[in-house]
Chains A and B, each alone.
Chain A
């Protein structure tokens, strides 16, 4: 079974600085997708970024980028120029067989 591990229960960063959230996963599949979702107190899971495993190029979305290391099964999220609105729970997720497997989450705090 696939598993996803986020080893940082909490992280904090100064506004305008850069922060990196870690994620590792375990799978025997070669074709899969990886995601980072953001969950603010409103509970709604919001897609931050998506990576296809067959693509070597790291995905980027504005201030958000990933470092995807397929051999190491690592998928970290970098947030540049952190903003107060980035404060939330962040979940790393693996998709296989049409269902998502989530990590435990990292609570990100932005210090003004």
Chain B
């Protein structure tokens, strides 16, 4: 595709529920990143994939958060037992190979936990 796409655009869920957020990177990009942006803040790093493997997951806040990229393209961010504090915009980015490359961002998914 022409750019990074993310679905859904908005997601409203209830506290305690499970959610999945999807990211479709730019075709051919091997590196994929997830960031979380809380209201009024800059994005914060969550996890970085190089191909199918998570090269750095040091930003995941706790074990309720998990992400996969089984075929080295589409990635899914999974949040279990959602809490109100998980409400934020979740941004995905991709780059051609990772190191020194510019990251290109998708439009994000706004998650609201009631």
Contact = CB atoms under 8 A, between A and B. Distances in A.
Contacts of B100: 33, 52
A75 interface: no
B56 A100 contact: no
Contact of A101 (B45, B48, B56, B103): B45
A47 interface: yes
Contacts, number: 57
Interface in A20-53: 33, 35, 37, 42-47, 50, 52
Nearest to A37: B105
A98 B56 contact: yes
Interface residues of B, number: 28
Interface residues of A, number: 24
Contacts of A104: 40-42
Interface of B: 31, 33, 35, 40-45, 48, 50, 55-56, 59, 89, 91, 93, 98-100, 102-108, 110
